[in-house]
Structure 1
Amino acid sequence: MANGTAFYRKYRPQGFDEILGQEHIVDVLKEAAKGGNITHAYLFFGSRGTGKTSVARILAREIGCEPEDLYEIDAASNRGIDDARELREGVKSLPFKSSRKVYIIDEVHMLTKEAFNALLKTLEEPPQHVIFILATTEVGKIPDTIVSRCQTFTFKKPTQTLLKQSVLHIAKEEGYELGPSAADLIAVLGDGSFRDTQGVLQLVLSAAKSKKIDREFVEKITSAPPAILVNDLVSAVAEKDLEKALGTVRKAVETNVDFTLFLKLVLEKVRLVLLMRFDSETKKSIKEEFSEDDVEFLEELSGKKGENVNSALLSELLTAYTKTSFAYIKQLPLELALIKILEKEKTP
């Protein structure tokens, strides 16, 4: 059932071969585990939902650590000096069943200065039977003295293609048929996180009455900006119609859309128009991923009609996108970008 166990738990990778997009890490750890070349401390750094905890658990399992000897600590709620001292005492005891004890410390950057100092003493003279795996989203907040004593791995954000593949796989496993465009939108909404993407998918599937799901349904359930608004804005730019462009922005405001997401979807469409103009392979892949209407729309703009949809526009939209989340009036950066690029077109 889509509304049962959380998808990020149900579909959590159970082996190195199931980890997606982190081959540069998996290959090294797999060989280290196979050859017994395990270091006493690892530091996993990456944004949320990239697989840090999953890889840590798999590594522990691969080196023979039984569940009784695996300890997972949330540094956000166990961050003080007393917690660190308790950890120092705990590592002295021998494992119950395994040759090694593994401590996974999540969000390690949340530890206090005193707790880091206590942890440092343990890392300086670690017992032979203990392995630490530290995980963080903010490596800059971890003291250099800690980092220098760990083997560090940087987890990459999954690409939209990988997220889309994951979405389609899980939907199929759950007995649903997800349209390519619907899967693409869910991947965008996941914002570079497997966990967040799976959460969006579970929300959509739990609300579905039909086993076939299209993009419009995903837009409705997630309150994502309608594709027609996105296309209308891109069309207005192509037509050099500032009034129409600003009118579309106003409609987006009236429908209470997430403006950062709205601009992200506009960026995606403009980027695809440019790629289709210069890369024949992009045309082939788009036909597999988008609806016929969308393909026709993009093909038309990649020709002479869309000559105003260019790299200068994309550059201005990128600038607006970076400013949107900080703007007091969320639509203002986009409005300024449109005025700048379209007013310039009117200048003789």
Structure 2
Amino acid sequence: MTKSGKHEKTDGHVALYRKYRPQKFSDVRNQEHIVSVLEGAITKKAIPHALLFTGTRGTGKTTVARIFAHEIGASDVDIYEIDAASNRGIDDIRALRDAVHTLPYESDYKVYIIDEVHMLSKDAFNALLKTLEEPPAHVIFILATTEVDKILDTIISRCQVFQFRSPNRLELREAILDVAKGEKFKLEKDAADMIAIAADGSFRDALGITQKVIMASPDEKANGDEVASIIGAPKSALLVDIVTALQEGTVEQGLAAVAAASAANVDMKLFITLLLERIRAIILYRHSKNAELLTQFSEDEGKLIQEYAAAASSPINSHLLLRLLDAAEHTGRTHLAELPLELAIVDLTSHT
């Protein structure tokens, strides 16, 4: 996604992730370690014939692939994007093997960007391997994947591998606030934090959620609770109730908060993620007194975290956090999405 710059406000028909997609290397966020190597390869005219981009969804793999293709001089007619999920068979790759031998239309290179390459069948992988072993000089392959462990070692060994970083929450928040500013939309910091958490390390998802918030807000602004309502996140009061229940050992209060969240159609995975962040902050603040841990929370929640961190013989400890992590792991594996958290609350409060 692009760094801050001048943009006209988007109408409802343009996806924000398309509008703010980087068009040149200097626009790319969070992948400086990759950009510097690619720029060096271009400067030194040492272009690898095969590159493998790996990383989680929405981190810019295909975007950087397009930029690289243009930077080495490939025109649009000589850039071919292939979705391996829908072109995964041996016949598709054989057709590609035949096509690579034709010369580019108007560029020095033909560039093939194969997205989600791990979706290729075994026979297709073997056919691709033969092409990578003896590629024509005018062909560059850029393979992109979210699951590098599913790719044959023999394929990987013939590529230069680039690991794309997932942005952390602060990096996502900065990007979200930049886009909101570009859209002339007032987004409070706690609202941007909420979107960043829900985006789970994906710039693309972050902008998709931001666009949803903008469309749902009639007065060109949104705070944390308004965003929570739009995206199915819990209001802070419910999280405070559960943290308090865990601190004081009041099972009824904890279960009531989970029931209220369920009744409000709160996303339980997001709910427990937000809960884990608060428990983590209490434990880390107890041992480090690092005020930076409090900056992501409201003033009232920050005071509560400090209070519980200072409490003598607090039940909020590493054992409790591990039990909640186990609940998070099991959330979504049953049609009763709230069940793992309910069981954890019962278990943890009955031992206080």
TM-score of the aligned structures, taking structure 2 as reference length:
0.92
Using the TM superposition, name which of 231-240 and 126-135 deviates more: 231-240
| Residue 10 (structure 1) aligns with | 19
> 1:144, 1:285 → 2: CA distance?
41
Which residue of 1 is the match for residue 32 of structure 2?
Answer: 23
Matched, 1:316 2:323: yes
What does residue 44 of structure 2 align with?
35
User: Aligned with 2:229: secondary structure?
Assistant: helix
SS at match of 2:350: helix
Measured in 2, the distance between the counterparts of 1:284 and 1:324 equals 29
Establish whether residue 247 from structure 1 lines up as the match of residue 230 from structure 2: no
Q: Which residue of 1 aligns with 2:7?
A: none
Match of 1:174 in 2: 183
Q: Pick which of 29-38 and 200-209 moved more.
A: 29-38
Which ranges of structure 1 fall in alignment gaps of 5 or more residues? none
What percentage of residue pairs aligned between the two structures are identical?
Answer: 50
Is 1:159 matched up with 2:134? no
1:107 and 2:79 matched: no
Tell me the CA shift for residue 15 of structure 1. Answer: 2.1
- SS of residue paired to 1:94: coil
Aligned residue runs from structure 1 range 1-348, under 5 A: 1=10, 3-281=12-290, 283-284=291-292, 286-287=294-295, 289-304=296-311, 307-345=314-352
* Alpha-carbon displacement from aligned partner over 1:38-73 (angstroms, at most 9, x marks no partner): 111011111111111011111112212121211111
Which is worse superposed, 302-311 or 317-326?
A: 302-311
The gaps in structure 2 that reach 5 residues or longer are 1-9
Say if 2:80 and 2:113, in contact at 8 Å, map to a contact too. yes
CA distance in 1, matches of 2:68, 2:324: 42
SS at match of 1:344: coil
Q: Which amino acid aligns with 1:143?
A: L
Distance in 1 of aligned mates of 2:274 and 2:63: 30
Moved over 4 A (4+): none
| Deviation of the 1:285 alpha carbon | 6.1
**Residues 2 and 206, structure 1, Cα contact 8 Å, conserved in 2:** no
Instruction: Confirm or deny: 8 A CA contact 1:45 1:138 kept in the other structure.
Output: yes
The answer to whether the 8 Å contact 1:164/1:184 transfers is yes
CA gap of 1:60–1:227, structure 2 versus 1, over 3 A, is same
* Structure with greater helix share of residues: 1
Q: Please report the RMSD computed on the Cα atoms of aligned residues, expressed in angstroms.
A: 1.9
Tell me the secondary structure at the aligned position of residue 162 of structure 2.
strand
Structure 2 distance, partners of 1:181, 1:286, is: 12
Could you tell me whether the CA contact under 8 Å between 2:245 and 2:349 is conserved in 1? no
Measured against aligned partners, the alpha-carbon deviations of 1:224-276 in whole angstroms (never above 9, x if no partner) come to: 22221111111111122122112222222222322111111101111122233
> Structure 1 pair 162/212, CA: closer, same or farther in 2 (3 Å)?
same
Q: Distance in 2 between matches of 1:339 and 1:209?
A: 41
